[in-house]
Amino acid sequence: MRRRRKRTPLWLTSPEAIVEMKRGVALDPLSPLYTAWLGGQYWMVGQNEEAIAQARKSLELEPDFPVGLYVLGGAHADMGRYAEAIATHEKTAAKYPTYRWTLARTYALAGWTDEARKILARIGRGHRVTGFSGSLAYSRGLRRPG
């Protein structure tokens, strides 16, 4: 009988997760994905300035990298820098339509609930808003109509 390996969640919120992600970046320093994920780890533990620095590094490696843009905008939003966050997530949503929810999240955090609702409505009925993005949208009272 084969033993199943325990899966490790992508977004852990612990110092150990940051250490492990740093190892990944050290093994592949030209990977925008690992660099952006390291930024995401910092963001998840509230180290937003370091998250922004890592997100920018990922964008130096690959301009307009969606995960780097997501982390960059999210960290700015969590710091109350809504203008920067909105500009970043507008760019992300325009280039990568599947990331439109990031803009809705940012609008909701900024208090722009009407704009957030419009985006969620445009995403469409066939698209399920789940996980972190869905939790945030629903907690802000931004359920899609219908």
pLDDT of residue 11: 53
Residue 97 lies in a domain: yes
Q: What confidence score (pLDDT) does residue 58 get?
A: 97
pLDDT at 15: 76
**Three-class DSSP category at 144:** coil
Examine the pLDDT at 73 and tell me if it is beyond 70.
yes
Is residue 3 in a domain?
A: no
pTM: 0.78
* Measured distance between the N- and C-terminal CA atoms of the chain, rounded to whole angstroms: 48
**Buried/exposed 92-120: b ≥16 CB within 10 Å, e otherwise:** bbeeeeebbbbbbbbbbbbebeebbbebb
pLDDT category at 7 given cuts 50, 70, 90 is: very low
Q: Does residue 9 belong to any structural domain of this protein? A: no
Q: Which residue has the tokens 């219908």?
A: 146
Which residues touch 48 (CB under 8 Å, ≥6 apart)? 42, 75, 76, 78, 79
Higher pLDDT, 42 or 132: 42
The answer to whether residue 104 is domain-embedded is: yes
Residue with tokens 């359920």: 143
Look at residue 70 and tell me if it is in a domain.
Answer: yes
Within a domain: 72: yes
**pLDDT over 60 at 131, yes or no:** no
Q: Provide the residue range defining the domain that includes 72.
A: 15-139
Average pLDDT of the chain? 83
Q: The CATH number of the domain where 119 resides is what?
A: 1.25.40.10
What span, in angstroms and rounded, lies between the C-alpha atoms of 73 and 140?
18
Look at residues 86, 68, 66 and name the one whose alpha carbon lies nearest to residue 76. Answer: 86
Indicate whether 132 pLDDT > 70.
no
Domain count, the chain: 1
Q: Return the SS3 of 7.
A: coil
